[in-house]
Amino acid sequence: MRGNQFGRVFCLNTFGESHGPGMGAVIDGCPAGVVWQQELMNRSLERRRPGRSPFASGRQESDIVEILSGVYESVTLGTPIAAVLYNEDARSQDYKPQQMQQRQGHATDLWQNKYGHSDPRGSGRASGRETVSRVIGGAVARMFVSQVYPEAQVISFVSRIGRIALSDGDCVDAAEALENDPWHVDEFSLRCPSQEKNDSMESLLSEARETGESYGGMAFVRLAGIPRGLGQPVFGKLKSELAAAFMSIGATAGVEMGQGFEAAQTSGKEFHNSRQDYGGLRGGISTGDPVSFRVAFKPTATRNEMAREGRHDPCIVPRAVPVLEAMAWLVLADQILLSRLDRV
């Protein structure tokens, strides 16, 4: 089985199944001399952890990571960083293989068909539990990027659940307001930085919990303070690397960069006169201006009786926010290292 590695220079390899002994990551290519920030790692994992919200899975995992290699006296060595955390609350008896395969829209049956032998407990590696390894890698990437470009920020929040949504203008205003403290969004229960919209989303998901319904949604992602010149034309454009990173997350249904599809409705005169920053990218290379994306997620596959009886998220977007941020940090780390090979 391939496809468990992300990145070309700063590489993340992930391992583990949802109900196996544990989950983990091996980060290869992180330079020596990066100051280790354990508090940043702990907080990143806490943000993604299940069981911390009534609107998420009730699975209780402490997600305390153990670093096995690559760090000495709180500084990276340049050698592979191996990290593992152990599953503590799998409750595999709640996941009957036949029942799991009947979830319309999930990939459990495709995994079984593709490999002939797969772990059906909690969907194995097709589970959202897999994303904990991405958050480990993203935290290490953030340590590196923050050390070489302290002004760099990745901001993400929920902009839509079902039909309840922030306007485009509200998204821009919220992103700018969060630049000084991106983690302030966690003060909102569903990570939507509008108390009115957040409350409406709470009501919607509370009802979904009772009925067994699920909802899709959308997250807004903004990269600010990033250096000019990131991106590797022709096939390694910054926009394509970020889009691939976001689309690799389970349940993603679409990615829109900057003005996205709206640009297709304008004339050249309108577009080039009014949007001189071009969404922070030209020719797939960063201009130094903020780069923004909208990432859409489909409704959770577990519905009806299974959703009422089990431990599932009625909407995964709030918990996807730290995963999106992790993937953005991984892309930035990889592209910064690649850019150092561009010229003498």
pLDDT of res. 304: 47
Cα angle for residues 47, 53, 57 (degrees, 5° grid): 95
Reported as a pLDDT band with limits 50, 70 and 90, residue 122 is low
CATH code given to domain 5-339: 3.60.150.10
Taken in order 137, 139, 144, 149, is the CA torsion positive or negative? positive
pLDDT at residue 92 tops 70: no
Instruction: Quote the CA–CA distance of 120 and 310 in Å, as a whole number.
Output: 15
| Alpha-carbon distances of 29 from 227, 256, 261, rounded to whole Å | 20, 30, 36
Q: Where are the domains of the chain?
A: 5-339
Q: How far apart are CA 294 and CA 93, in angstroms?
A: 37
Closest to 326 (Cα-Cα) out of 131, 172, 57: 131
* Residue 37 reports pLDDT greater than 90: yes
Average pLDDT over residues 7-31: 94
Q: Which helix (H) or strand (E) holds 102?
A: none
Highest mean pLDDT among 50-54, 261-265, 314-318: 314-318
Residue 145 clears pLDDT 50, i.e. is over it: yes
Q: Is residue 140 scored above 60 in pLDDT? A: yes
> Is a pLDDT exceeding 50 seen at residue 308?
no
Crossing angle (nearest 10°) for helices 238-247 and 317-339: 150
Q: CA-based angle 221:83:325, to the nearest 5? A: 5
- If you average pLDDT over every residue of the chain, what do you get? 89
Residue 62, pLDDT above cutoff 90 = no
pLDDT, residue 235, reads 93
What is the average per-residue pLDDT within 88-114?
A: 65
Q: For residue 323, what pLDDT band results from cuts at 50, 70 and 90?
A: very high
- Cβ atoms within 10 A of the Cβ of 245, count? 24
Give pLDDT tens digits for 200-251. Answer: 999 999 999 888 899 999 999 999 999 999 999 899 999 999 999 999 999 9
What is the rounded CA–CA span in Å between residue 50 and residue 56? 7
Provide the 3-class DSSP secondary structure of residue 297: strand
